[in-house]
Structure 1
């Protein structure tokens, strides 16, 4: 097997694996490593382009290599530093005589547990008030698979507690199901 043949297999495989890693949105580290795999794929496509004389493939993947390097810097460099800073602040607040902190950046995608630690859903969004930077409500996605059949519910701040493991409330799954389902594109001004 020649180097060009090997690159011909590595290029599409790396591209597909990286696409799954980044599309899955499994967190900063996985997304960052997805860009590392994308870089391997784009470099393999460059090798295929050189071996086959395809200048358009060469130019597009040379550019994509630069884009992927920016993705690596953003997710494994900058964003990882931000997450480390918020993690440190959370740990320090837990040990100090101040209210424990919870990273706002980690709210979206956080699991929501209810009574008896039963998983109720996932935070889809957080609506903030402009008059004092307080939380107006959280939007919780519950049920369904991969967003299909998912119900969206609004939980006011008095119904939720933030913690290291995510968001908790005192609702059961049945009580959450009985709450108003939010319509796509028509979320309320208040709950």
Structure 2
């Protein structure tokens, strides 16, 4: 159960990877039980799960952790240099979103990027609810988002954010126009 919580929470490569380590301890333990109690089905099932968990460890504590560490390293270096400040795209989902006055409105869910230009078209922000239940999703146009290394700050007030239309699950727009209250 602990391993399942660690992997399901999606709190980054290290936590997910260690969740697979916990899963591996369990599958090895059950393999031993299957071997010592003459239960070949239990042994075979958990031997396979041990293999799958090994892939999870490699993926999350090896490869993905290295990617995340590389992105964080570039972000730290950019903050101390004359280069434009960077933030890793892997951090996009789950970042805090504030209004123009610094009041926390919610968290980012996704960023939609234009294929032709590589530019962010809009950012989807989740607000309200608890643990995803009763949350409201809204799309904020790129020109109303100020990217920071640890959060997003909107160029609009909370009231204008609340006026943005709610997004229907699985039916997001192809394009976003101006925010309510924008001066055109």
Task: Give the TM-score, by structure 1 length.
Answer: 0.86
CA distance in 1 between counterparts of 2:60 and 2:82 reads 33
Deviations 1:138-169 (CA, angstroms, capped at 9, x unpaired): 11111111211111100111111222212221
Give 1:171 deviation, angstroms: 3.6
Q: Is 1:72 the counterpart of 2:53 in the alignment?
A: no
For structure 1, the residue ranges without an aligned partner over 5 or more in a row are 1-15
CA distance in 2 between counterparts of 1:35 and 1:164 reads 29
Name the counterpart of 1:125.
110
Map residues 16-55 of structure 1 onto 2, 5 A cutoff.
16-55=1-40
One of 157, 161, 166 as aligned partner of 1:176: 161
For structure 2, the residue ranges without an aligned partner over 5 or more in a row are 177-184
Q: Secondary structure at the match of 1:25?
A: coil
Name the counterpart of 1:156.
141
Deviations 1:65-96 (CA, angstroms, capped at 9, x unpaired): 11111111111111111111111111221222
RMSD (Å), alpha carbons: 1.4
Name the counterpart of 1:57.
42
Map residues 90-169 of structure 1 onto 2, 5 A cutoff.
90-169=75-154
Name the counterpart of 1:8.
none
CA distance in 2 between counterparts of 1:76 and 1:142 reads 31
One of 66, 81, 92 as aligned partner of 1:81: 66
Q: Secondary structure at the match of 2:86?
A: coil
Q: Secondary structure at the match of 2:165?
A: coil
Q: Which runs of 4+ in 1 moved over 4 A?
A: none
CA distance in 1 between counterparts of 2:83 and 2:35 reads 60
* More displaced stretch, 132-141 vs 176-185: 176-185
Q: How many residues align?
A: 176
Give 1:170 deviation, angstroms: 3.5
